[in-house]
Amino acid sequence: MASPHQHRAVSSLQALVQVPSVSHPDPALVDTAAFDQLLDVLRERYPLIHERLEVTRHSGHALLIRWAGSSSDRPVVLMAHLDVVPVEGQGGWTHPPFGAEIHDGMVHGRGTLDDKGQLVTICEAVEGLLADGFVPAQDVWLSFGCDEEVSGGSAPEAVRLLRERGVRPWFVLDEGGAVAHGAFPGVRAPVAVVGVAEKGTTDVRLVAQGRGGHASTPARRGPTWRIARAIQRIEAHPMPASLPDATVELLTRLAPHLPAPLRSLMSRADRLRPALTRALLAAGPEPAAMARTTVAATTLRGSPAHNVIATRAEAGLNIRVAVTDTVEDVLTHLRRTVKDPEVSIEVLDAGAPSPVSPYLDEPAFDLITGAVEEVFPDAIVSPYVMMAATDSRHFTAICDRVYRFAPLRMTKEQRESIHSYDERVGCQDLVDGVAWTRLLLERLPR
Ligand SMILES: [Zn+2]
C-alpha cells in the first residue's frame, strides 16, 4: 500500500494551493493571472475531465461542467469554490501559506480546507471514475465558483445557466459541514454534520442626523448619542430564541453518546425545547447563535475631528437571521427596540435564511449519510443548521435539496484555522474524501 502522501490527490492539492487565487470585492484588484494559472493546473491535473466532459467557463474564471449520465431526470450538482481569502501578513503561519508543504502527514496552506480540499476530492473522484470508464446513473454537474469569499456573481450565474438549460437538480452538495472532531463537549466520536439550511446574512445601517456644532458647547442627545443608545438597546433586547427542528434532531442524535445525566435529557430534546434553548443561550456565543438571530454592531462612523460634534452618525449591523425568522421579523424587532423616530434603519442587503432541505425519509439525504457511514464508520451523522453562508444558497432557487458537507475530517484546531492561520488538511483525510465522493457518484440511483 502506498502511503497517503504519495496519492495523487495530495500532489494535486499541493499544486492548487501554491496558486494564490485570492478573490477581491473589487474585480479590478483581482490577480487574474493567478486564476488563469489555477485553471491551467486543473487542466494539467485533470485531462479526462477537460477532454471528455462539457466544460463551460463563465463569470471570468468559474467553471460549470456537465458529465452526462445514463439518465438526466435526477441530475446532481457538486460544488466547490476556486478562490481563497487573503493572508494578512504572514502572521501566525508556521509554514508558508502558499507553500503547500507537508508536515506531520498534513498539507499546510491557505485553501487546504476552504475550499481546494473539497475541489480536489470532487475532481480526483471524477477523473478516477472516467479513467475506469464509469458512466454515472444520472447527469452530474460540477460547479466551481471563483468569488465565493466575496459573495460574487459566479454562483448566481451558474444557477442562471442551469435554469436556462432546464436543469432542476435532484440535490446540490456544497461546502459547509464536515466530519468534525471535538465539536461537542462530552461527545468523543466525530460528528459528520450535513448542513440542511443556513442562516441569512442581512446588513442594516442605523443613521441619526442633527445639528452637530462646536465641541466646546455640546447640546444633549445628538446623533452620536442616539446611535450609541440604539446599539445598547439592540444588545439588551435580542430577538426571541427558538430552536430549529434540525438542531433538535442534532441534539437527539448526539444524546446516546453523551455522559449519563445529559444523555437522558438530550434524548428528550424535542419535549424539552424551551429548557434546551435556555441552556444553549447560556452556554456562550457559539451555542447561543444556534438558538436565535444574532445582531452584531460592526462599522461605526461619526465626527471626522476631535473638536467637531457629528451632524451624522451611523452604525452598521451585521445580522444573521435564524431559519425560524424572516428579514421582516428582524426589521420589525429593530424598529420596536430602537424606539427612536430620529434613527433611521436602512437595509443595505436583505439576505434571508435558506429554506430547510428535507432530511427525514429523504433518499438524497440518505445517499449522502450512507456514504458517510461507510467511509467514516466512527462518525455520528446528523443534519444541522449552518451559521455561515455558502454559495449554495443561490441554488435553493432551482433545487429543494441543498446539502452542505465536505467529506473531510477536521479537528477543532483545523476548523479554527479556516480564514485564519495554519490551515491544513490530513493527507489520509484527503484520500478518504476522494473515496467518499467516488462512492456517492457510484451510488446515484437510476
Ligand atoms: Zn469556502
**3-state helix/strand/coil string of 9-52:** HHHHHHHHHCCCCECCCCHHHCCHHHHHHHHHHHHHHCHHHHHH
Tell whether 337 and 383 lie within a shared domain. Answer: no
For the domain that residue 53 is a member of, what is the CATH number?
Answer: 3.40.630.10
CATH number at residue 270: 3.30.70.360
Distance, CA 114 to ligand 1 centroid (Å)?
5
Q: Give the Å distance between the CA of 2 and the centre of ligand 1.
A: 30
pLDDT at 317 over 70: yes
- CA separation for the pair 436, 377 (Å, rounded): 12
- CA of 140 relative to ligand 1 center, distance in Å: 21
Of residues 268 and 351, more confidently modeled: 351
pLDDT of 206 reads 98
Distance 284 CA to ligand 1 centre (A): 25
Distance 208 CA to ligand 1 centre (A): 36
The residue-averaged pLDDT of 350-364 equals: 97
Beta-carbon contacts of residue 124 (< 8 Å; ≥ 6 apart): 8, 9, 12, 434, 437
What is the mean predicted confidence (pLDDT) over 184-208? 95
- More confidently predicted of 139 and 6: 139
User: Which of 301, 335, 350 lies at the terminal end of a domain, its last residue?
Assistant: 350
User: Residue 213: pLDDT above 60?
Assistant: yes
231 CA → ligand 1 middle, Å:
30
pLDDT of residue 166: 97
Ligand 1 centroid to residue 85 C-alpha, Å:
9
CA 305 – CA 321 distance, rounded (Å):
35
| DSSP line for 252-302 | HHHGGGS-HHHHHHHHTTTTTHHHHHHHHHHT-HHHHHHHS-EEEEEEEE-
The number of CA neighbours under 13 Å toward the Cβ of 99 is 13
Cα of 378 to ligand 1 centre, how many Å? Answer: 25
pLDDT of residue 413 exceeding 60: yes
Least confident residue range of 49-53, 255-259, 428-432: 255-259
**393 alpha carbon – ligand 1 mean position (Å):** 13
For residue 302, the model assigns a pLDDT of: 95
Looking at 293, 316, 350, which one is the last position of a domain?
350
Q: Which domain holds residue 219?
A: 200-350
Same domain, 297 and 387: no
* Average pLDDT of span 273-278: 87
* Overall average pLDDT of the 378-385 stretch: 97
**Interval between CA 305 and ligand 1 midpoint (Å):** 39
pLDDT of residue 236: 97
185 and 205: one domain? Answer: no
Q: What percent of the chain has pLDDT over 90?
A: 85
Domain boundary among 287, 320, 350: 350
Please tell me the distance between residue 225's alpha carbon and the centre of ligand 1 in angstroms.
38
261 pLDDT higher than 80: no
Residues 250 and 392 occupy one common structural domain: no
Measured in Å, residue 84 CA sits from the centre of ligand 1 at: 7
Evaluate if residue 228 carries a pLDDT over 90: yes
- Contact assessment for residue 418 and residue 176, using Cβ atoms and an 8 Å cutoff: no
Alpha-carbon gap, residue 65 to 139, rounded angstroms: 10
Instruction: Give me the mean pLDDT over the 331-338 stretch.
Output: 98
Instruction: For residue 81, report the distance from its CA to the centre of ligand 1, in Å.
Output: 7
Residue 382 pLDDT more than 90? yes
Weakest mean pLDDT among 153-162, 285-294, 426-435: 285-294
CA of residue 405 to ligand 1 center, whole Å = 11
Average pLDDT over residues 260-269: 77
pLDDT tens digits along 30-46: 999 999 999 999 999 99
What sign results for the dihedral spanned by CA atoms 289, 295, 301, 303?
negative
Mean pLDDT calculated for residue range 211-230: 91
What is the C-alpha separation between 60 and 57, in angstroms, rounded?
7
pLDDT value at residue 199:
96
Ligand 1 centroid, distance to 69 Cα (angstroms):
28
Task: Please give the pLDDT value at position 270.
Answer: 78
pLDDT at 50: 98
Distance 257 CA to ligand 1 centre (A): 30
Confidence at residue 2, expressed as pLDDT on a 0 to 100 scale:
63
User: Given the C-alpha cell 452637530, which residue does it identify?
Assistant: 212
Spacing, Cα 148 to ligand 1 middle (Å): 7
Ligand 1 center to 390 CA (angstroms): 7
Domain shared by 105 and 157, yes or no:
yes
Q: For residue 226, what pLDDT is reported?
A: 97
Distance (Å) from CA 223 to ligand 1 centroid:
38
Mean pLDDT of 325-329: 97
- Whether residue 360 sits in one domain with residue 338: no
Distance 28 CA to ligand 1 centre (A): 22
Task: State the average pLDDT over residues 430-445.
Answer: 98
Residues 316 and 208 in one domain: yes
Distances (CA, A) of 43 to 53, 174, 278: 12, 22, 52
Are 254 and 308 within one domain?
Answer: yes
Task: Report the SS3 class of residue 304.
Answer: coil
- Same domain membership, residue 168 and residue 19: yes
The pLDDT of residue 1 is above 60: no
CA distances from 2 to 7, 9, 431 (A): 7, 13, 12
Average pLDDT over residues 321-339: 97
| For residue 269, pLDDT beyond 80 | no
**Residue 66 C-alpha to ligand 1 middle, in angstroms?**
22
pLDDT tens-digit map of 396-405: 999 999 999 9
Q: What mean pLDDT do residues 295-310 have?
A: 94
Mean pLDDT of 197-216: 93
Cα(173) to centroid(ligand 1), Å: 13
**Å from CA of 118 to ligand 1 middle:** 9
For the cut 70, the answer to whether the pLDDT of residue 134 exceeds it is yes
Cα 269 to middle of ligand 1, angstroms:
31
Residues 67 and 175 in one domain: yes
Same domain, 432 and 395: yes
Beta carbons within 10 angstroms of residue 196's beta carbon: 31
CA of 431 to the centre of ligand 1 (A): 20
CA of 17 to the centre of ligand 1 (A): 14
Same-domain status, 149 and 88: yes
What does the pLDDT average to over 398-418?
A: 97
The Cα 387–Cα 199 span in angstroms is 6
According to DSSP, the β-strands at 424-426 and 106-108 are antiparallel
Query: How far is ligand 1, taken at its centre, from the CA of residue 115, in Å?
Result: 5
Report CA(226)–ligand 1 centroid distance (Å).
Answer: 37
Distance 156 CA to ligand 1 centre (A): 16
Residue 32, C-alpha cell as written in the block? 487574474
What is the distance in A from the centroid of ligand 1 to the CA of 128?
Answer: 24
Count structural domains, the chain: 2
The whole-chain average pLDDT of the chain stands at 95
In this prediction the pTM is 0.91
Task: Give me ligand 1 centre to Cα 416, in Å.
Answer: 13
Please write the tens of the pLDDT for every residue from 67-92: 999 999 999 999 999 999 999 877 79
